[in-house]
Each structure stands twice: as C-alpha cells, then as structure tokens.
C-alpha cells in the first residue's frame, strides 16, 4: 500500500519535473527568439531603436504645436476632409456588403448537409482559404494598374478578402446550426433556396451580422491604409499632406483626429450592437 | 366558437396582425435601403466613368506577363552588334556569340518565330517573312524608317508605321525598328532563368541531367560538389534574387512575430490592472481601459507614420506598429478573460496560505492560458497578412518588394511570384497556428 503510494508520488513528481523542464526549455527558446528577433529587426532598420527612442515624441509635438498655432483652421479642415472620410467609409461599407453577400453563398455551398454539390465542398473551402490569404494590398495595387486610381480598386480588393474571411466564419456558424428545420422544409417540398432562407438564415442571422459588423470595423482601417498606399479616401489625403511636410501639419492632425474619432465611434456602436445581437440582452 | 370573440382575444389578434405588418415592412425596408445605398455609391464612385478610365490593355499585358517571358533580339543600329537578352535585361543577356536555338547569329542573323514566321537582320535591313502575308522589309533610310509591304497588300492593323518608327505586333512576337535599334521580341510561356542564370553551368540542363549531375556525375566546378553549386546558383540567382525574396518573407514573419508576442507580453500584466476583479483601484482600471481604447483607435496607419519618423523605415518600425495596436486589442480581450474566471479556484489556492503571486500563478493563469494562447496564435496568423501591408508602408519585408515590383509596371512575373509566395506564407502560418491550437490548447 505504502509502496504503491510512494511510487505514485514519485511518478507524479517525475511528471511535474518533466513538465517544468519542457516549459523551461520552451521559455528559454521563446526568450532567445524574441531577443534575437528584436536585434535582427533593429539591425535591418534604417534607424536604431535606442537612437530613435528619444525622438519618438518629436513628430507628434511638431504636428500638434503647429496645429495648436493654427487651431482656427481645424473646423474648416474637418469639413474639407469630410468627403474623403465618407469615401473611406463607403469603401468599407460596400466591400463589407458585397463580401458578406459572396461569403453567404460560399458558406452555404460549403456547409455539410446543406451544400448543393456536396462533392465540391473542399473546392469552395479552398477558394475561401485563398481569398483570405491574399492581402488586400496585392489585389488593390494590381487593380490600380488596370482601373486607374479611385475607390473602386480598394473596394474590390477589400471585398474579395472579406469574402474569404467572412466565408470561413459564416460556414463555422452554419455548420453548428440545427438541421431539423431544413429537413422539415424539405419534407414539405421546399426547394434549396427556400430551405436556406427559412431554415438556416433565421438561425444564423444574429451571429452572421455580428461577424459582418466586426469586419466592417476592420475594413475601415484597411480602406484607410489602402488609400495611403494607392487609391482614394482619406488615406490618400494623409499621404499628400505628409509629403508636403512642414506647414501642412494642421491638415495631418485634422486627418488623424477624424480617423481616430470615426474608428472610436464605429467601434463603440458596433461593440454594443454585437453584444445585443449575440447575447440578446441590452448592454 | 362564438361570433363575439372576447375582448382580450380581439386585442391579441390586432396586435399580432399589427406586428406582422410591421415585420413585413421592416423586412422589405432592409433590401430597399441597401439598393438605395448601392445606387448612391454607384454615382459616388463614378462607376460609369470607370469604364472609360479602365485600361484593359494594361490588364492583358499583366495577365500575359504573369506566366510568360520575352526574349529580345536586339541589333544596335549604330555599332551593328546583335545581342540576345531575356526580358531585355543586362543580367539576362547571353554571352557574345551565344543564343537560344531559334536564333542563328553570324553575318546575317536568322530568327525563327512562332507560327512559321521568320525574321532576318541583314545589315541594317530587316526582312520578315510572315505566313499568309508575305515578305515585309523594313530599312532605315537617313533619318526615316522605310516599310515595304508585299505587292498589292494593304497596311494591316497589326503594323503601325510612322516616319521614324515601325512596329509589328503579332501577339506571340513583336518587331520594332527605330533609327537607333532593331528589335524582335519573342514571348514564351514560363519564368525563364528562374533557377539558374545564363552564366551558370547548370543553365538549360534537363531535369534528368540535373539529377545525374547532382548525384553521380563528376564535378563541374572542382571546388564544390555539384549539389552545393546548384543550391548556390539558385540562391544567388541575379534575375530573381531568391535570397532577397526569402529574406524579405522572413522579415515579414519576424515583424508579425515580434509585434504579436511583444504586445502579448506587455498586455498580459497590464490586463490584471484593467480587470475589475484584480484592479487595485477603479481609477487605475478606467485609466488602463482608456489607454487600450486609445492604442486600438489610433489606427495602424497612424502608428506607422509616427513611428517611422522616429525610427526610420524598416522591420523594427513595422514590428512596433503592430505591437502598439495589438497591445490595445490584447489588453481588452485579456482583461475580459480575467474577469470571466472562476473565483473558486483562486479561493482554494488562497486557503492554503498562498501569496498573491502564487494565487495568480496557480489559480488564475491556468484558467486564462487557453484564451490568451489561442488569441496570440490567431493574431500571429492574421498579423502575417497585416505585416505585408505594413511592410509596404514602412519599407520592409515582402510588402516593400511587392510595391517596388508593381511600381516598375513591367516585372509582372515577379509580382506573380511574390503573390504566390505571400499566399503560401499566410496559409502555412494559418495551418501552423491552427495545428498548435488544436494540439496544445484543445487537449
């Protein structure tokens, strides 16, 4: 009895020891990767971390002091940049709409028990994986070459990425939903579209809208960045103001503020809406 | 059932019909609103004008260049020298006297072209034999370029002739002559010189030859085994720069790794002070919450602009930009995870007389570790994609190479190569993070 207990204790302690050893090794490995990684990144950067650290506040001070001097311009600048901001928001909204629409189709076609062509499920899954993996900037820059500047290349690029990203989330939700309503509808002779519309959509609508809202938040950021790299919206204005440099910093501050406030407002309302959609209660 | 329904029933009936009508109207209103919005966007984005601005010919060039390359056979009309170069680049030029098998160099240069066409450079004169059309002669005459068509032929739409320049475009090959140079471009499928450049001893060898060379044939270069020479030749390929490309991919993954893990390391301890059940004071908690919101709300775009002013372009700036936004995101999610833990475990540990640190280590961390780790892995994967975009902004990693290749507007085969590599990189990170999550977190 005591022997058994003693060996049990020894076994347990041995296991604990081994676990600690593995944990320790992982920790050391991680620390080594982090330090060497930061050193490599530091070495390949144009300016070093330590030489730049004390300058980190220089640029914000510079632009803020200029904006403080010309604070009377700010309201006018806000109004001036409002159309660009609306364009950025439009790019995000339209691409979320189109992306969500395409994602719905792809998700339905790749959900087990619901797919029109069950054999093609892996094909549609792969399609979503690829759409998700292509960064927006790749498609946007290529499309700018073909379509010229403006909001459309960014819109298409973000919509394609959204299709992949939402398609995966949508199909995860619809995989988990109750298939009985679909069977019931099938038994009364409903066609595929009716089965999806009355059997699945009511079940998944809250979760899907919540994911689409989250995606909208992400897409606003993406559309601002794409504007900076290539085409329309407030990102492009930011780039031109920055290139101008000194003397236009009040514009930079106005754009920063507009972006910041918009993102905060959208995040706040979409947070609340999502909480309501998913939990059903008021938050 | 009596005809006189009781009042409550009547009321129920009216409210329900009323509600149904409301729902119906609302269900109809949503698509109507969406359609109205799309019509507005149609005009706001000037989609009608887009058709006029679109350069579909650019699209055709791009699609062709993605999977094909062209070889230039150029005669310098001043010196009379003929050179053959892949993509017309100096690095892809054949050594003097060497050419692919469809070009014969000599006093007269003969070029065999697809579709049975044939071009000849005879001194400054170029003769082109085109099936179903006849012989076209192009020759410089003083400052002019003179085009002679077969007898009785009208100028076809694939020849454009100006006094100082003649262009012939047959799809699979093109010809052009100006005063300074005569050029034939031949398009062929594939990515030429992808593995070895022309100066490499392995250029133009078949797969079978390569295997034989790698495994048992004598060394081509006495100083190193063939297989090492092959790897070296591939890695330092001067046309495709595989070493730089893979270095840039590594840089992108590094940015994502440093940014995500750095943000996790900073956010995790801070999350304790921002969680309602651990915060020492309400003010600290609110302050941290606002800080996290601020970090998240200042978009990655703004962070890259501010940080690159201080640190200059490069991967460090990119890592720090990712770190900034993600510290905000992690701070929020981690503190929410901490608020949702089961207090009983912590009480149990406390009852054995554990200190605060021990309570955190054995009571709290085991509960939040799965959430924290899976968040970290998920963001690592998604940041690999963001790092490509941020790389384009801060000038580091594969994003930089990609934008540079796109800006030149001619290296589309390289753009295609980078696109494939980026997609593969993201997919590898995706399955890697998924595998780790399944293996270590879900049990």
Structure confidence at residue B56 (pLDDT)? 81
Structure confidence at residue B5 (pLDDT)? 56
Average pLDDT over chain B, rounded to whole?
Answer: 85
Length of chain A: 283
Residue (of B327, B294, B300, B315) closest to B386 by Cα position: B300
- Residue B257 belongs to some domain of the structure: yes
Report how far apart the first and last C-alpha atoms of chain A are (Å, whole number): 58
* Structural domain harbouring B112: 71-189
List the single best residue of B33, B296, B311, B419 to mutate versus A (max A Cβ within 10 A): B311
Structure confidence at residue A147 (pLDDT)? 86
Residue in chain A closest to B398 (alpha carbons) equals A138
Token pair for residue B359? 């309570």
Model confidence pLDDT, tens digit, residues A31-68: 999 999 999 888 888 878 888 888 888 888 888 888 88
Q: For residue A69, what are the contacts with CB-CB under 8 A and spacing of at least 6? A: A250
- Residue B216 belongs to some domain of the structure: no
SS3 percent helix, strand, coil of chain A, rounded to 5, is 85, 0, 15
DSSP state of A280: -
- Residue B21 belongs to some domain of the structure: no
Residue (of B79, B165, B184, B87) closest to B123 by Cα position: B79
- Asked whether residue B402 falls in the same domain as residue B260, the answer is yes
Structure confidence at residue A283 (pLDDT)? 39
- CB–CB contacts below 8 A, A to B: 184
- Asked whether residue B130 falls in the same domain as residue B260, the answer is no
- Asked whether residue B155 falls in the same domain as residue B259, the answer is no
Chain A CB contacts of B426 below 8 Å: 132-135
Strand ranges across the sheet with B82-86: B82-86, B68-76, B181-189, B173-177, B165-169, B159-162
- Asked whether residue B256 falls in the same domain as residue B166, the answer is no
- Residue B223 belongs to some domain of the structure: no
The pair phi, psi for residue B113, each rounded to 5°, is -120, 160
Query: Domains in chain B: how many in total?
Result: 2
**What value of ipTM does the predicted structure carry?**
0.84
- DSSP 3-state of B190: coil
- Residue B279 belongs to some domain of the structure: yes
Average pLDDT over chain A, rounded to whole?
Answer: 87
- Asked whether residue B251 falls in the same domain as residue B365, the answer is yes
Alpha carbon of residue A175 to chain centroid = 22
- Residue B217 belongs to some domain of the structure: no
Cβ atoms of residues B146 and B163 within 8 Å:
no
Structure confidence at residue B3 (pLDDT)? 52
Q: How far apart are CA A82 and CA A75, in angstroms?
A: 11
Question: In angstroms, what separates the C-alpha of B106 from chain A's closest C-alpha?
Answer: 41
Q: Tokens 């066609």: give the residue.
A: A191
- Asked whether residue B430 falls in the same domain as residue B295, the answer is yes
Q: How far apart are CA A94 and CA A91, in angstroms?
A: 5
- Asked whether residue B152 falls in the same domain as residue B255, the answer is no
Q: What is the DSSP string of B18-38?
A: HHHHHHHHHHHHHHHHHHHHH
Choose the weakest-confidence range: B48-52, B125-129, B313-317, B341-345. Answer: B48-52
Chain B CB contacts of A30 below 8 Å: 261
Helices (H) and strands (E) in chain A, counts: 12, 0
CATH number of the domain enclosing B400: 1.10.3720.10
Considering only CB atoms, A145 lies closest to which of B297, B406, B418, namely B406
List the single best residue of A23, A30, A47, A224 to mutate versus B (max B Cβ within 10 A): A47
Percent of chain B with pLDDT over 70: 98
Chain A CB contacts of B34 below 8 Å: 97
Q: For residue B109, what are the contacts with CB-CB under 8 A and spacing of at least 6? A: B73, B75, B82, B103, B120, B121
pLDDT range class, residue B442, cuts 50, 70, 90 = low
Q: For residue A257, what are the contacts with CB-CB under 8 A and spacing of at least 6? A: A74, A78
- Asked whether residue B261 falls in the same domain as residue B373, the answer is yes
Sign of CA dihedral B379, B382, B385, B389: negative
Structure confidence at residue A17 (pLDDT)? 92
- Asked whether residue B174 falls in the same domain as residue B276, the answer is no
Cβ atoms of residues A223 and A233 within 8 Å:
yes
- DSSP 3-state of A231: coil
- Asked whether residue B334 falls in the same domain as residue B435, the answer is yes
Q: How far apart are CA B227 and CA B233, in angstroms?
A: 10
pLDDT range class, residue B241, cuts 50, 70, 90 = confident
Rg of chain A over all Cα atoms, to the nearest angstrom: 26
- Residue B138 belongs to some domain of the structure: yes
Model confidence pLDDT, tens digit, residues B1-24: 445 557 788 889 999 999 989 888
Element (H, E) at B4: none
Structure confidence at residue A92 (pLDDT)? 94
Q: How far apart are CA A20 and CA B117, in angstroms?
A: 74
Which residue, of B169, B189, B209, is where some domain finishes? B189
DSSP state of A64: H
Chain A CB contacts of B311 below 8 Å: 45-49, 52
- Residue B41 belongs to some domain of the structure: no
- Asked whether residue B318 falls in the same domain as residue B436, the answer is yes
Cβ atoms of residues A254 and A78 within 8 Å:
yes
Chain B CB contacts of A38 below 8 Å: 258, 262, 316, 319
């Amino acid at each position: 009895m005591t022997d058994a207990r003693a060996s049990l204790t020894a076994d347990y302690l041995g296991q604990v020891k081994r676990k600690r050893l593995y944990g320790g090794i992982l920790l050391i490995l991680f620390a080594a990767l982090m330090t060497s990684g930061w050193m490599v990144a530091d070495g390949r950067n144009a300016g070093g971390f330590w030489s730049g650290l004390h300058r980190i506040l220089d640029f914000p001070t510079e632009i803020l002091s200029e904006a403080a001097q010309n604070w009377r311009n700010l309201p006018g600048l806000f109004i001036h940049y409002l159309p660009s901001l609306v364009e950025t928001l439009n790019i995000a909204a339209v691409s979320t709409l189109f992306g969500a629409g395409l994602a719905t189709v792809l998700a339905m076609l790749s959900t087990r028990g619901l797919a029109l062509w069950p054999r093609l499920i892996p094909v549609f899954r792969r399609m979503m994986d690829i759409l998700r993996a292509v960064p927006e900037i790749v498609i946007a820059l290529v499309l700018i070459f073909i379509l010229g500047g403006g909001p459309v290349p960014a819109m298409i690029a973000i919509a394609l990425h959204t299709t992949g990203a939402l398609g995966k989330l949508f199909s995860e939700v619809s995989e988990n939903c109750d298939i009985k309503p679909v069977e019931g509808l099938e038994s009364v002779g409903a066609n595929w579209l009716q089965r999806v519309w009355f059997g699945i959509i009511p079940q998944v609508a809250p979760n899907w809208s919540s994911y689409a809202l989250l995606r909208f938040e992400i897409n606003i950021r993406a559309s601002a960045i794409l504007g900076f790299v290539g085409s329309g919206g407030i990102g492009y204005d930011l780039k031109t103001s920055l290139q101008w440099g000194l003397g236009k910093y009040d514009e930079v501050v106005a754009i920063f503020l507009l972006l910041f406030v918009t993102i905060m407002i959208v995040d706040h309302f979409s947070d609340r809406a999502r909480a309501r959609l998913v939990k059903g209660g008021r938050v | 059932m009596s005809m006189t329904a009781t009042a409550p029933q009547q009321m129920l009936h009216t409210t329900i019909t009323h509600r149904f009508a409301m729902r119906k109207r609302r269900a109809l209103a949503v698509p109507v609103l969406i359609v109205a919005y799309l019509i507005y966007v149609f005009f706001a984005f000037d989609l009608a004008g887009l058709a006029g601005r679109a350069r579909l010919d650019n699209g055709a060039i791009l699609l062709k260049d993605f999977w094909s390359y062209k070889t230039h056979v150029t005669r310098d009309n001043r010196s009379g020298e003929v050179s053959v170069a892949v993509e017309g680049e100096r690095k892809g030029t054949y050594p003097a006297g060497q050419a692919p098998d469809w070009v014969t160099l000599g006093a007269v240069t003969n070029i065999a072209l697809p579709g049975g066409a044939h071009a000849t450079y005879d001194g400054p004169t170029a003769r082109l034999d085109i099936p179903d059309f006849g012989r076209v002669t192009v020759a410089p005459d003083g400052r002019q370029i003179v085009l002679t068509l077969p007898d009785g032929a009208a100028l076809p739409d694939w020849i454009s002739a100006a006094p100082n320049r003649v262009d012939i475009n047959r799809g699979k090959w093109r010809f052009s002559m100006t005063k300074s140079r005569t050029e034939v471009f031949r398009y062929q499928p594939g990515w030429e010189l992808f593995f070895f450049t022309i100066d490499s001893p392995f250029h133009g060898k078949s797969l079978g030859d390569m295997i034989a060379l790698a495994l048992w044939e004598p060394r081509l270069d006495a100083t190193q085994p063939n297989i090492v020479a092959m790897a070296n030749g591939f890695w330092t390929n001067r046309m495709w720069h595989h070493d730089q490309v893979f270095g840039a991919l590594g840089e992108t993954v590094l940015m994502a790794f440093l940014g995500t893990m750095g943000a996790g390391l900073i956010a995790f301890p801070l999350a304790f002070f921002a969680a309602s059940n651990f915060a020492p004071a309400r003010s600290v908690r609110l302050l941290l919450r606002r800080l996290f919101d601020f970090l998240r709300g200042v978009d990655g775009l703004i962070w890259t602009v501010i940080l690159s002013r201080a640190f200059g372009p490069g991967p460090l700036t990119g890592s720090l930009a990712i770190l900034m936004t993600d510290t905000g995101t992690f701070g929020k999610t981690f503190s929410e995870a901490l608020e949702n833990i089961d207090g009983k475990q912590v009480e149990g540990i406390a009852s054995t007389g554990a200190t605060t640190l021990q309570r955190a280590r054995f009571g709290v961390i085991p509960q939040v570790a799965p959430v924290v780790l899976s968040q970290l892995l998920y963001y690592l994967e998604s940041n690999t994609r963001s790092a490509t975009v941020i790389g384009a902004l801060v000038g580091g990693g594969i994003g930089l190479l990609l934008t540079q290749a796109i800006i030149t507007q001619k290296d589309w085969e390289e753009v295609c190569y980078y696109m494939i590599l980026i997609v593969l990189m993201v997919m590898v990170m995706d399955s890697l993070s998924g595998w780790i999550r399944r293996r270590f977190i879900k049990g």
